[in-house]
Amino acid sequence: MALVEARELVKVFRRREREPGMAGAVRALVRRRSVEHIAVDHVELSIEEGEAVAYVGPNGAGKSTTVKLLSGILEPTSGEVRVGGLVPQRNRMAVAHDLGVLFGQRTQLWWDLPVSDSLGMLRDLYGVDRGTYARRMRRFDEVLQIAELMAVTGRKLSLGQRMRVDLAAALIHGPRVLYLDEPTIGLDLSVKDRVRAFLRELRDDGTTIMLTSHDLADIEDLCRRLVIIDRGRIIFDGDLGAVKDEFARERVLHLQTGSAVDAGAVRAALSGATVEPDAAPDRLTVRFDRFALTAGHVVNAVGRLVDVVDFRLDEPGIEDVIRRVYAGDIAFAGAGRGGTP
Ligand SMILES: Nc1ncnc2c1ncn2[C@@H]1O[C@H](COP(=O)(O)OP(=O)(O)O)[C@@H](O)[C@H]1O
Ligand SMILES: [Mg+2]
Q: Per-residue pLDDT tens for 262-314?
A: 999 999 999 889 999 999 999 999 999 888 899 999 999 999 999 999 999 98
Does 328 fall in a domain? no
Whether this model's pTM surpasses 0.85:
no
What's the CA gap between 237 and 319, in Å, rounded? 16
Question: Hey, whose CA ends up nearest to atom 6 of ligand 1?
Answer: 13
- In this predicted structure, what is the pLDDT of residue 128? 96
Find the Cα–Cα–Cα–Cα dihedral 341, 211, 129, 155, rounded to 10°: -120
| Separation in Å, CA 12 to CA 38, 68, 77, 81, 87 | 4, 13, 6, 16, 19
pLDDT of residue 91: 93
CATH code at position 138: 3.40.50.300
* Distance between Cα 11 and ligand 1 center (Å): 10
316 CA distance to ligand 1 middle (Å): 31
Q: Is 134 exposed, middle or buried (0-12, 13-18, 19+ CB in 10 A)?
A: exposed
Does a structural domain hold residue 124? yes
Spacing, Cα 61 to ligand 1 middle (Å): 8
> Does residue 337 form part of some domain?
no
Residue 221's pLDDT is 83
Spell out, as residue ranges, where the chain has pLDDT lower than 70.
Answer: 18-20, 24, 27-33, 316-317, 328-341
- Establish if 193 belongs to a structural domain: yes
Separation CA 115–CA 113 (nearest Å)? 6
Rg of the chain over CA atoms, in angstroms?
25
Q: Which residues are CB-contacts of 268 (< 8 A; sequence separation ≥ 6)?
A: none
Q: Is 80 helix (H, G, I), strand (E, B) or coil?
A: strand
What does the pLDDT read at residue 187?
79
- Among 11, 64, 228, the mutation site with the greatest number of ligand 1 atoms within 8 A of its Cβ is 64
Domain end, chosen from 224, 245, 266, is at 245
Which pLDDT belongs to residue 18?
Answer: 65
Pocket test for ligand 1, best of 10, 11, 37 (most atoms within 8 A of CB): 37
Q: Using a 6 Å CB cutoff, which residues line ligand 1? A: 13, 15, 37, 39, 57, 59-65
Type and span of the H or E element at 26: helix 21-30
User: For the chain, how many structural domains are there in total?
Assistant: 2
Is residue 124 located within the same domain as residue 153? yes
Same domain, 235 and 286: no
Q: Are residues 54 and 127 in the same domain?
A: yes
Backbone angles phi, psi at 82, to 5 degrees: -135, 135
Same domain as 145, residue 289: no
Q: 286 with 189, same domain?
A: no
Q: Whose CA is nearest to atom 11 of ligand 1?
A: 39
Same domain, 87 and 200: yes
Same domain, residue pair 120 and 259: no
Per-residue model confidence as pLDDT tens digits over 281-293: 999 999 998 888 9
- Tell me how far the alpha carbon of residue 130 lies from the centroid of ligand 2, in angstroms: 35
> How many whole angstroms from 279 Cα to the centroid of ligand 1?
47
Domain end, chosen from 210, 226, 245, is at: 245
Q: Look at residue 167 and tell me if it is in a domain.
A: yes
pLDDT of residue 58: 84
Q: Which atom of ligand 1 is nearest to the CA of 65?
A: 17
Q: Hey, whose CA ends up nearest to atom 9 of ligand 1?
A: 65
Residues 187, 234 share a domain: yes
What lies within 8 Å, CB to CB, of 96 at 6+ separation is 126, 173
Are 257 and 271 in a shared domain? yes
The answer to whether position 334 is within a domain reads no
Residues 120 and 143 in one domain: yes
Domain, as residue range, for 52: 4-245
Closest-approaching ligand to the CA atom of 106? 2
Same domain, 59 and 179: yes
Judging by beta carbons within 10 Å of its beta carbon (0-12, 13-18, 19+), is residue 14 exposed, middle or buried?
Answer: exposed
Based on the fold, state whether residues 170 and 208 are members of the same structural domain.
yes
- Ligand 1: nearest atom to the Cα of 59: 23
Domain membership flag for residue 331: no
